[in-house]
Chains A and B, each alone.
Chain A
Amino acid sequence: MSRKDRLSGNEAVAIAMRQINPDVMPAFPITPSTEIPQYFSNFVANGQVDTEFIPVESEHSAMSAAIGAEAAGARTLTATSSCGMAFMWEELYVASSNRLPIAMALVNRALSGPININADHSDAMGARDTGWIQIFSENNQEAYDNFVMAYPIAEHEDVHLPIMICQDGFITSHAVENIVIEDDDDVKKFVGEYEPKHFLLNADEPLAVGPYSVTNYYMEARRAQAEAMAHVPGVVLEVAKKFESIFGRHYGLIESYRMEDADYAFVLMGSAAGTMKEYVDGLRKEGEKVGLVKVRMFRPFPAKEVAQALSHVKAVAVLDRAESFNNVGGPLSGEVLRALFLQKVRCEAADYVYGLGGRDLLMEHVRSVLEDLKKLCAGETLPAFYRYLGVRE
């Protein structure tokens, strides 16, 4: 039986991990993800899982150990945040290019500096080109559900790629919400057993993993990896459909909120989507035809779905929770605007950076964005390609 419980995002993800009962978990603590390995090591100590928990000396080692374990044939996961994942950077590419379906709980946190422990997406954006699948969670329920769906996606025979399930640091990871936790056996059945075809501990098949690739083979290897990524959207939807049929909650690549007749759209990811739904409702009461497109899957990017969702709007505002320092805009807007252009959707567009280092997104910020969009639609130009929301100036 499923049950309702009051849980933080970290607790919810740790419970999903307990239900999955992975073979190996190497992890190193870093705020705000520390609680995940902490809760999980309790499960190990209490005998609730039979996972080999490896308390490594760094995140570089955590991902290295995860790669070794996964290549050996063990279902492996880890958790990290911010500079911890930055320290994994080299290994993230090794995991994906060796096609190892490792799962990671990424609790999004700002990167130093200035040093800050609160939520933004700069850690995940730093890893956006590493070949990992990236799924963003709006709230604790989604963090749990997304983690339950992680392995069926990553281990799918057409995919075999690592996956990171992202939730916003503190806002989601530490805030306690009422959520539904599914029955242990139902989750185990849904996730299934891991049965890799090729693995290093198979004595019957000598195997080399990660051989050197000369120039004559490197591009072919990359092209093959890109093909695996091309299979991901279909698999994510297939897994989501199965999830919905068993557990009743619906997930897509994106979520459209009050977009049917919207003239103005906001696009963002993560916990601010919940905040934005509230603001959309508020603005709708005032007669503004606004809507929200929440991007759930950032890698690979659902370009067609995003463009389709925005195909009828007059103007779109993309809200980025990360800086790209390119003088043009954030990473999400780059993806969204490319999607619109290539899908031949023409509308006004503006980009904003919000919420860096844990700053809140306020209604007054959203009102100012809506004013900008109306100005654009009236033929005015904005003074810059993008601007900061809620910064003192």
Chain B
Amino acid sequence: MSDEFRSSKAINLQSKWDELTEGLQIYEPATSVDTITGEWRTQTPVFLEKDCKQCLLCVPACPDSAIPVKNQKRLDFDYDHCKGCGICVKVCPFHAIEMEGVE
């Protein structure tokens, strides 16, 4: 049956029961990147680039790695994975992130 390598990318809502992996095992790393979980979010943080000093304190505080960093600078949020927890809003010393309901 399905005790063979099958990439998680090949499995989707059209996959039949015998096209899944055994026990739904995933035979590759970092597949959470492919899984869009941002839709769980009810509140959305907004990045105010003009106020950002690029201190990067928000990056390690994010529980979901939803703040991408390139060339030592943070970019806008990865809304495919941000759950809207608001921790980054609390952490930012420069009020460069805004979110409804979080001071």
* Known A224-B1, A228-B1: A216·B13 in contact at CB below 8 Å: yes
Q: How many cross-chain pairs have Cβ atoms below 8 Å apart between A and B?
A: 59
Q: When chains A and B are docked, how far (Å) is the Cα of A197 from the Cα of B22?
A: 11
Of all chain B residues, the one with the shortest Cβ separation from A200 is B25
Whether, in the assembled complex, B26 has its beta carbon less than 8 Å from a beta carbon of chain A, the answer is yes
Of all chain B residues, the one with the shortest Cβ separation from A226 is B17
B25 close to A224 (CB less than 8 A): no
* Known A220-B15, A224-B1, A224-B2: A207·B20 in contact at CB below 8 Å: no
* Known A198-B27, A206-B29, A207-B26: A224·B3 in contact at CB below 8 Å: no
Whether, in the assembled complex, B24 has its beta carbon less than 8 Å from a beta carbon of chain A, the answer is yes
Whether, in the assembled complex, A208 has its beta carbon less than 8 Å from a beta carbon of chain B, the answer is yes
Of the candidates B13, B17, B28, B31, which one forms a contact with A223 in the assembled complex, judged by CB atoms under 8 Å apart?
A: B17
Contacts of B15 in A (CB 8 A): 220
Q: When chains A and B are docked, how far (Å) is the Cα of A198 from the Cα of B4?
A: 9
Q: Chain A nearest CB: distance from B84 CB in Å?
A: 19
Q: When chains A and B are docked, how far (Å) is the Cα of A160 from the Cα of B3?
A: 9
Of all chain B residues, the one with the shortest Cβ separation from A97 is B23
Of the candidates A205, A210, A219, A220, which one forms a contact with B27 in the assembled complex, judged by CB atoms under 8 Å apart?
A: A205
Contacts of B31 in A (CB 8 A): 208
Whether, in the assembled complex, B51 has its beta carbon less than 8 Å from a beta carbon of chain A, the answer is no
Q: Residue-by-residue, is A145-169 near B (CB-CB < 8 Å gives 1, otherwise 0)?
A: 0000000000001101000000000
Q: Chain A nearest CB: distance from B34 CB in Å?
A: 12
Contacts of A342 in B (CB 8 A): none
Whether, in the assembled complex, B70 has its beta carbon less than 8 Å from a beta carbon of chain A, the answer is no
Whether, in the assembled complex, A46 has its beta carbon less than 8 Å from a beta carbon of chain B, the answer is no
* Known A157-B3, A160-B3, A216-B13: A224·B18 in contact at CB below 8 Å: yes
Q: Chain B nearest CB: distance from A133 CB in Å?
A: 16
Whether, in the assembled complex, B16 has its beta carbon less than 8 Å from a beta carbon of chain A, the answer is yes
Of the candidates B2, B13, B23, which one forms a contact with A210 in the assembled complex, judged by CB atoms under 8 Å apart?
A: B23
Interface size on B, as a range, is: 10 to 19
A208 close to B18 (CB less than 8 A): no
Q: Chain A nearest CB: distance from B17 CB in Å?
A: 4
Contacts of A158 in B (CB 8 A): 1
B17 close to A207 (CB less than 8 A): no
Q: In B37-77, which residues have CB < 8 Å from any A CB?
A: none
Q: When chains A and B are docked, how far (Å) is the Cα of A157 from the Cα of B22?
A: 11
Q: Chain B nearest CB: distance from A102 CB in Å?
A: 13
Whether, in the assembled complex, A201 has its beta carbon less than 8 Å from a beta carbon of chain B, the answer is no
Most chain B CB within a 10 A radius of its CB, from A220, A223, A227: A220
B25 close to A209 (CB less than 8 A): yes
B22 close to A99 (CB less than 8 A): yes
Q: Chain B nearest CB: distance from A212 CB in Å?
A: 9
A206 close to B13 (CB less than 8 A): no
Q: When chains A and B are docked, how far (Å) is the Cα of A213 from the Cα of B29?
A: 18
Q: When chains A and B are docked, how far (Å) is the Cα of A223 from the Cα of B31?
A: 24
Contacts of A100 in B (CB 8 A): 23
Q: When chains A and B are docked, how far (Å) is the Cα of A216 from the Cα of B3?
A: 21
A207 close to B1 (CB less than 8 A): no
Q: When chains A and B are docked, how far (Å) is the Cα of A216 from the Cα of B23?
A: 15
Contacts of A213 in B (CB 8 A): 24
Contacts of B27 in A (CB 8 A): 198, 205-207
Whether, in the assembled complex, A311 has its beta carbon less than 8 Å from a beta carbon of chain B, the answer is no
Contacts of A223 in B (CB 8 A): 17
Q: Chain A nearest CB: distance from B98 CB in Å?
A: 31
* Known A157-B3, A158-B1: A224·B28 in contact at CB below 8 Å: no
Q: When chains A and B are docked, how far (Å) is the Cα of A99 from the Cα of B29?
A: 20
Q: Chain A nearest CB: distance from B29 CB in Å?
A: 4
B16 close to A211 (CB less than 8 A): no
Whether, in the assembled complex, A391 has its beta carbon less than 8 Å from a beta carbon of chain B, the answer is no
Closest 9 A/B residue pairs (Cβ): A206-B29, A223-B17, A208-B26, A220-B17, A99-B23, A98-B23, A99-B22, A224-B17, A221-B24
B residues in contact (CB < 8 Å) with A: 1-3, 13, 15-18, 20, 22-29, 31
List 30 A-B residue pairs with CB atoms under 8 Å apart, sorted by A's residue number.
A97-B23, A99-B23, A99-B25, A157-B3, A160-B23, A197-B3, A198-B3, A198-B22, A206-B29, A207-B25, A207-B26, A207-B27, A208-B26, A209-B23, A210-B24, A211-B24, A211-B26, A213-B24, A217-B24, A219-B17, A220-B15, A221-B17, A221-B20, A221-B23, A221-B24, A224-B18, A224-B22, A227-B1, A227-B18, A228-B1
A residues in contact (CB < 8 Å) with B: 97-100, 157-158, 160, 197-198, 205-211, 213, 216-217, 219-221, 223-225, 227-228
